[in-house]
Structure 1
Amino acid sequence: MSKILELNSQNEWSNTEKTIFKFFGIYFFLQVLPLDLRFFKHLFSTNWFQIQYRDIFYLARYSPTFTGDDSFFNWLIIILLAAIGTFLWDKTYTKKINYDKLYYWLRVLVRYRLAIGVIAYGFLKYFPIQAPFPSISNLNTNYGDFTAWKLFSLGLGVVPNYQSFLGLVEIVAGLLLLNRKTTTISTLIILPFAGNVAISNIAYEGGEYVYAFYLVALALYLFAFDAIRLFNLLSLERPTVPNRFQPDFDGKWKQYRLVLKTVFILFFVVLYGSKTYAGYKHHGYHFPKEKGIENTSGLYNVSEFRWNNQTLPYSKTDSIRWQNVVFEKWNTLSIKLNKPVIIEHLKSEEIYQADSNRIYEFAGSQGRHYYGYDFDSTESILLLKNRNKNHVSDQFKLSFKRLNDSTIVLSGLSAGKDSIYAVLNKINKKYLTIEAKKSGRRNALKL
């Protein structure tokens, strides 16, 4: 049977080095390999004949959880398991171990696990769908009505080219991890990148900081292999010895290695990249897929408003009177009025298939109420339902009448049987972000 030959003889490890390796070896082994049923449930529920990029993304984003939530408490559990494992290893296993070879294979596992993680997020940015361009409703929401996280996401969404650049950086860093010789270079890219993501999530109250630190921890473990050598060479300007262990694959091992690496690249780079591009071409995963009423999208001023047959004048403080309405290109209608909104939050990056779960457009914001609608074109009836799970009783059944290209009349009843009548006049509003996107940054904006 083929085996792996070492070019260099095994180096001597001190007892302290062995103990440290055992602890971190067990720790990262448990962090890298799937341990809980959540991973296998997703693995076996995936339709592999019609696989989507969301399926690969969720496999790539896996990290072990014991509490049901992605928190640092899971790390504490793994630390305890690693400590117990180290103690039992010293007490029960007495055979001679080639620590150089064991360290090499552990680094292989960590390298490929880290590569999967950064490449998965890299393609979501390279095809700029992780932070989509703001919706018309977002562009007509007051700055102070957004949470810090939503402002960060919207700020990234208005610069898709920069977002693509960030994604390219992640993809390149992930590909560099696939070669042992370029691993350290990759970690020097990933550490500041993922570290910045982690700190940004803390600063802007995002929900991905635990996973970002998870990637940082993996990168630190890989960087530690060359850290002392780099310090001696660059800082102390001392002679530095080469790597202690360099594998040489012979026979079938060389073929197996090539096949496994090829399969990895085809699945996590080629297939995932092409599926993500297809998702980008179908408008991503944040906004609903269902199309809205044709030739209706835009901002509308509510020039006349009646509630229970009583005319209400325009007011920014009235909790009933609509101020303006937005029809999106998809089946969302948002209304601005002075009625409290219980804010929904997206705790982590989620790629939902069902439109009912796609809450990005209103998550992290208030000031507007967002309604999904069904439109009966034969009867010209709109059925509106508030998409915020905290306001599910907020519903309307309204007749839809288009007087001309810029005027729409909505009339009908609320879920509480209150009558409503609203005249909507379209505003031909231009947006700096959209005009800049059309004309290019170097051209002057003409409004």
Structure 2
Amino acid sequence: MTQSPENLCHALIDAAKAAGADGADAMAAEGQSISIEVREGALEHAERSEGTDLGLRVFVGKQQALVSSSDARPETLIAMAERAVAMAREAPEDPYAGLADASQLITDWDLAAFELEDTSAEPAPEALKTDAIAAEAACQAIDGISQVQSAGASYGTHAVHLAASNGFSGGYCRTSRSLSCVGIAGTGTGMERDHDGDSRTFQGDLRSAEEIGRTAGTRAVERLNARKPDTGSYPVLFDERISSSLIGHLLSAINGASIARGSSWLKDSMGEQILPSNMSVIEDPFRPRIAGSRPFDGEGLATRRRAIIEDGMLTGWTLDLASARKLGLDSSANAVRGIGSVPTPSNWNIALTPGDQSRLDLIRSMGTGLLVTSMIGSTINSNNGDYSRGASGFWVENGEIAYPVNECTIAGNLRDMLKRIIPANDARSYLSRVVPSILIEGMTLAGN
């Protein structure tokens, strides 16, 4: 008889204790997914997967070890525990490793309020195929599209459970439904491509296949006849599609693991101004139907809403238990745990304070500069915040889009860049990272 993820976790912990562990936590994930890809109106690829994955971390004093498996047979659980304990006894001591105290654990939560699972019927493969074909057809119908590189739809559901010998036990189920399309315009060396897609927890929230296909095709055609811009110092507008990467660099710099290692350009910046004084970065793990929402973190602590940046000032690090202990602080309940990895700090849902101008308003105000819609590669110096990325998008002259550009590099220093950001009001509220288009003046642009 198949055991539930919860029962598997408790069986692993019991086996670890029997093998000689002083403490243990276990994670079990059970899921299934189906994906469909079409080409020229016909099915090209279909895949369905189902499985259960198990992870066990054990402690022998301050020594720890982790093992994982996809085999849930009782004899395998015992072998996993014995192997993990043997490994821990050979591991070096880590003074910061260990489970949460019982007093730190969440004891009650309303899972229904998070709306993590769409309980409607799983879509049939034919329904996924129909959506993918509709997206492909809408993209191909755009004048200038030479071919549709790919169009696909997928559905997934998985249940995850976490339990530990300190008394914590909790889990939840998630569903996901996604649709995407990639269009190609032009031919030969003048070929350009772009995409659009959507991913939601609930099927009913997904944008239409026709809209996704049209957007992918329109974006690809708009990129035709791109050229390199002139080298110089210009304002750069990061489109809403990619602006969250800037906030991502900020979040990486305040990650407790980096702070504890001393390898962050913000390591000595607690309480200092990081953004303009009218802007905040809010973390909210309680937003319904959003991928980054959850009642507890990967160590059983209650998640909470907090201002990471408040009125421009840095107020706190993103911490799990280990990084918090290294820094002599309390965990911010931001531990993320993988089946085959120990807990590490990570952020949940993030929102940046929006501005009062539209994206078009910012384009008009920037005069001459670059609107960035996609980026490739990345050179970020984690110690000083120096920033350099390949970019493409559109050249703006006299406040209007003039022509598409590619093969250029934008550069600056993140500390300086973030202090002078000007946000638009066009963020998509249903994303886990709600970040609008962002204008930064005086960036270095390398082109011709």
Pairwise same-fold verdict (TM > 0.5): no
> By percentage of residues, which structure has more strand?
2
TM-score (norm 2): 0.22
Select the structure of larger CA radius of gyration: 1
> By percentage of residues, which structure has more helix?
1
